[in-house]
Each structure stands twice: as structure tokens, then as C-alpha cells.
Chain A
Amino acid sequence: MRFFRLVAAVAGKDLKVELRSREILYTMGLFAAVIVVVFSFAFVKDQTALVEAVPGVAWAAVVFAGTIGLGRAFDREREGDTMRALLLAPAPRLAVFAGKTVAVTVLVVAVEAVVLPLCLLFFNLDLGTAIFDLALVLVLGAIGFATVGTVFAAMLLRTQSRDVLLPVVLYPILVPMIMAGTKATAAILAADGGDAWFWIKFLAAYDAAFAVAALWTFEALVIE
């Protein structure tokens, strides 16, 4: 019970800080929007953008912008040296990092809320109710990204050149998630409900597998 209260306190603190400055949301959102615009521009043929490019563009935007948000969410703890304050507090470190995972998930979902309408706009898509399926896919992707990303960001906390190492070590591990995400998106765009549902289940399994792996290895990896 106390564990969940601590998770909520850390996540709530992160989100409150973000709502005050809105720095991460604005920069991440604009970055994601620029990626979508540049890529849809790159895939134009006869003045319309190719629909086949949508899954790749959307997920590239989410992952790249998400990495920026992830990095900033941890950089922020270095500004007042508050990471030390968190580590010094008698709260389970797992709760602290679970709280950060929740906050990063919310940030990534917020970015997806920018990416999705832009994709619909630039690629002239009309999804109808399938948009809810796509939203589910994006949220599952955000959870997986935040879970794996937080573990790696936490492991890299005290190392040199962490800014460049984070994407280098993170992206290969994210490959199954990105693949499932793009396949699910493509299936939804092609109105292939069976395939879409299959990849949604795969995404959920990926989230569960790495949530367990993260919980299991966290103590050994992060705690000094």
C-alpha cells in the first residue's frame, strides 16, 4: 500500500513539475511533429503522401521523441541534485523508479496525441472507429517504451557519455516492440482486424515480459 502511495507521489511530483514548465512536452511534441512532417514530405508521390509509410513514420516519431523525454526526465533530477535526495530517502528505490516509469508513460502518450492527428492530417486518413484500436496500440507501446527505457536510463545514471549510450543500448532491445507496433498499425490501416488483434496481444506480452525482467533485475543493477 505504502509502495503504491510512493509510486503515486513520485509520478505526481514529476508531472506537476512538467505541467509548471511544460518544457519536455513542448520540445518533445514539436520534435515529433517535425519528424512526421519531414517524413511525410519524403514519401510524397503526385502531391499525396504514401499511406504505406504511416506506421514507420508514426513509430519513428514516437521512439525518437520519447528518447528525448526520457533523457530530460532524468536530467531534471540532476539539476538540484535531487537524484541524491531521492536515493537518500528511506523509500524503496523500486518505487521511485516505478513512479518515474509512470510519468514517462504519460509523457509518451501525450506525444502520441500529437503524432496521431498529424499522421491523419498529412496522410489524408479517415479511420472511423478503428482510431480506438490504434490508440490502444500506441498506449501499449508507450508502456513498453517507458518500462525498458527507465531501467536503462536508471542504469546509465552514473556513467559517462550516457546521452549517446542510452539510444545505442535501448533501441536494439526495443526492436520487437517497434516491429509489433508498426505491424499492428499497418493492419489497422488495412482494416485487417485479425492481424491487428494478434499484434496487440504481442505488444501486451512484450510489456509484461520486460516489466517482469525489469522488476527482477532492478535490485541487482541499479542499487549500490
Chain B
Amino acid sequence: MIRARIHVTLKSGILDPQGRAIQQSLETLGFSSVNDVRVGKFLEIELNEDDPAQAEQQLKAMCETLLANTVIEEYRYELELQPSRPPS
């Protein structure tokens, strides 16, 4: 089994008003070193798949067709091979 962690964020260059509001709040709290805040989505997907190449191919298709809107968003993912569940 493979667990995928997918991050979807607005493309760089696209204004993220939510990120900006959070940045201002952090500055208000005194975190003066905050340079930029981007808000995105985080998804965890468990795949019944043990081949990382196969998993990656499927994840890319999932991101391109549904999980991200590539007009405005970009995505990245990490894969983690999980030990298979023992047969019950």
C-alpha cells in the first residue's frame, strides 16, 4: 500500500488574499520575519498499490483531472510505502 500526501496551492504570481490576511495577523502578533504566506489544500490518499511508478502515474492523473485546477493551482506530492495489512 502507498500513502500519498498531496499539496495543492495557488500558483506563484496569483494573489492569495487569504494568505495575505494571515500574514498581516502574524505581523500583528509580532512575527515580524514573516515574508509571505500561501494557503492551500492538503490531501492524504491511500492507494492499493505497491509500485511507486504506478502510484505516481495515477496521482498525476488525479491531480490534473480533479484535485487541482491547473489554471490557477499547482500541486506536489510525496509517496510513502506502507507495510501491507496482515490478512485477517
- A and B assemble together: no
Residues of A at the B interface (CB closer than 8 Å) are none
Residues of B at the A interface (CB closer than 8 Å) are none
